[in-house]
Structure 1
């Protein structure tokens, strides 16, 4: 542990536990700080190569930028993502606290419910639905290879805007994910070390195939898209791509303390996460563009969905292996990153009526009802989804960063944060809700979402995470400084 990191004895942790906090919320002691640089390096390497990420790159290609510019924009995005993940994770690595307590230190014990809902329910449920659908697409292809007649079920009939084979596969895959959610996903986490190498075997193999199929790198780098969906200024297009990539990480970036609380030191998580994201995205930026464009050249069709390219491959074993790896990766990331947080958050919001399993079931049903297949209807729809996620969580991240670094000066009083609810906590700065944080979050949320509903403000929607983050950051600092200076508005309001 570095000198700036705080260690707690078992006696101190036991004191917090005696106040009614369960093990998941307690600060991690030295014995549980077992993640070093190598652990953080491998943490995100496999997660980068998921189906929605490849779909997003397909959308980037249709913006009209050259292939090399798409590669550079995606690679540069990694620097922003790494900075966000690292700096928002310092509170976790310094104090050993999870996301739930990090939120309380910013919004107050009552105030943490809204941002917790935005991350654990809104973002998690939406991502769960999208990941389940992308996994279902892979499942359709797998079933079709063994049972070709499955693809013809129902003919052209559609239910809820989706073909019957796709709906059957989605329902089956949805049920499987729900069952895994009930179990907590612990078993799947053990497969992470196996899945990551398997993903890279698939990706490297597909990249080599795409280069050969296209006739070398020359045709790929000189490829010109026809029918680009947007006519954007190249510089703004870079910002749009960076915003979309950050939006992919908006949810795990907000709750990154759940991962950094286990760091051996802040330095370990900073170095490990930076290397993981920068190197991982450098590989992804190259491979994703090469695979999508190389496949498009080879098959004579502009393709933005990597699954369609894999489906057209001649080798049945390659198709089966590739789809199986994507399926397993989807199940693992979906359980640990989406449905489990949603289940716990619903339990926290309604502890008297909803337990964890009911929370998982409710979140899963909502993810079905939002019909996530509409989020991948075309190369534009993925942007709408990512921009919405960025608009929802950008303000939360802005307030969290502003509070920790500029208001609290990287200091959290854990004795006050883990308050004893049997006492009068009226003067506890973490009690109730942080009114300035709420005002900043809500105003920034409205502004960053405005582009989704007002066509003239579409540019705001294109960079929604940046707009939400910067707006909330500035508004919160202004309100907080004014409050402290005038000593009129209390920092935290007492819970009614």
Structure 2
């Protein structure tokens, strides 16, 4: 397929790309093969996972009804849809991945700052997501064959033998897929998202049938005052924004392969407000059904599936959770660091090498130890996550309001060309607004505002960057 125009109106250049800034993976995409369904399937792969299921189910347990969870997350996904379209347009028009897009606002070498922040977050969550899925698979393997229980009695580096087997197996299969490049990523996520839908719908039908099809959409296991319900509702919408702030930042990694903006918008529409909200509602329905059938709200689908006591179903469930983890890891936690690390040393690190570095690093950090430490998850990863909003605000304002969409893509690969090595205005904006977002996200005193840290960071950085940039024009 012929690629769409790679630049907005700009001055053409004949300057050859600098090998310190260019390789074939970072260069503008030539083949634009991603259709509406590919982007829709991307969102299915990203959304259909244990973490999102538990998040939606947890909102129900905290006191929101199924209907309130549905409307809160629908609102959040509509805002996410708008943000994805903004970043998606940049990727589609320029044809370059996130770290190269970041050069527009942060400078050709200054872009390594946002790239490294995004890469570190992704690597840690890559390991944690793989570990969480391996726990679910271990549970199901033991349900299938209780004779394997002795493998859980002895451990190494904090993980028992069966846990190691399940974790390494998942890690290896993902690595195998990832080494084959973005085209393999597209083909894999095209079928893994729908496969998970089939199993989740079957699980919902089973639990609803067991509950005699009598599930309330308006009741909840915990009674809240009207004021508390409103706070929880907005908190849920804010948290889902923070969750997807990671992928919103680097969605250009995927939209760069779309032939036109209409494709990006349609894929986002079906994948975000429609599919994502439907999956969240299904998660809540299954959780509500478990409360009626078993007398308690079971928010872990693996634990629920283990109660089926049917070996073929358990095997199918184990495979499904493995596929779900690979889907979200590939989309949210692999593609980004592969490009981000390639951006640091393009001459030596390709997309594939960057991806393998990420995968090995995710294994070496012993993610089960990280996940068992609230300090690491909340303060380290939570603090880094709070930085993503300010990065998004700076990049969006710079492209749409300061440059009016005019970008010379070729100059993004030239040292000393149209773009500075480091843009001081971006740094002057980023550090104070990132600190503000981190304080709101982490300091207990600001706990009521913590769910909105991503939005506060984005808005404050956007306003400050616009003011600083206009002043120096």
What TM-score comes out, normalization by structure 1 length? Answer: 0.82
Which residue in the other structure is 1:491 paired with? none
| 1:25 correspondence with 2:14 | no
Number of the residue aligned with 1:149: 147
Q: How far apart are residue 294 of structure 1 and its match?
A: 1.2
Greater CA drift, 391-400 or 356-365? 356-365
Matched residue count: 466
Cα distance in 1 for residues equivalent to 2:351 and 2:277: 38
1:240 aligns to 2:235 (yes or no)? yes
Which protein has greater RCO, CA pairs closer than 8 Å, 6+ apart? 2
Q: Which residue of 2 aligns with 1:65?
A: 64
Task: Tell me the CA shift for residue 103 of structure 1.
Answer: 1.0
Instruction: Specify whether residues 358 and 86 from structure 1 end up closer, same or farther in structure 2 by C-alpha distance, changes over 3 A only.
Output: closer
Match of 1:472 in 2: 461
Q: Is structure 2 residue 417 aligned with structure 1 residue 418?
A: no
The residue that corresponds to 2:207 in the other structure is 210
Matched with 1:107 is 106
Structure 2 SS opposite 1:279:
helix
- Offset of residue 444 of structure 1: 1.9
Q: 345-354 or 97-106, which moves further after superposition?
A: 345-354
1:133 aligned to 2:127? no
SS in 2 for 1:47: helix
State the Cα RMSD in Å. 3.5
> Counterpart of 1:57 in 2: which secondary structure?
helix
Q: State which drifts further: 38-47 or 269-278.
A: 38-47
Residues in 2 aligned to 1:37 and 1:146: alpha-carbon distance in whole angstroms: 39
* 1: CA distance, partners of 2:400 / 2:124: 30
Residue equivalent to 1:272: 267
Q: Distance in 1 between matches of 2:356 and 2:412?
A: 31
Matches of 1:212 and 1:28 in 2, distance apart? 49
CA contact (8 A) 1:59 1:383 kept: no
Contact 1:124 1:339 in 2 (8 A): yes
Match of 2:115 in 1: 116
Asked if 2 retains the 8 angstrom alpha-carbon contact of 1:246 and 1:465, the reply is yes
User: What is the aligned counterpart of 1:363 among 358, 382, 395?
Assistant: 358
Cα 1:162–1:244 shift into 2, 3 Å? farther
Select between 356-365 and 213-222 the one with higher mean Cα deviation. Answer: 356-365
Deviation at 1:342, TM superposition (A): 2.3
Deviates more, 1:399-408 or 1:171-180: 171-180
CA apart distance, 1:139: 2.2
Deviations 1:11-57 (A, max 9, x none): x999677654333222235xx23334343333323432111111222
Segments of 5+ residues of structure 2 without an aligned counterpart are none
Q: Deviations over 1:73-101 (max 9, x none)?
A: 12222101111111111112223232232
Inter-partner Cα distance in structure 2 for 1:366 and 1:7: 34
1:226-263 superposed Cα distances (whole Å, 9 cap, x missing partner): 8x9x9983333223222322233222221111211122
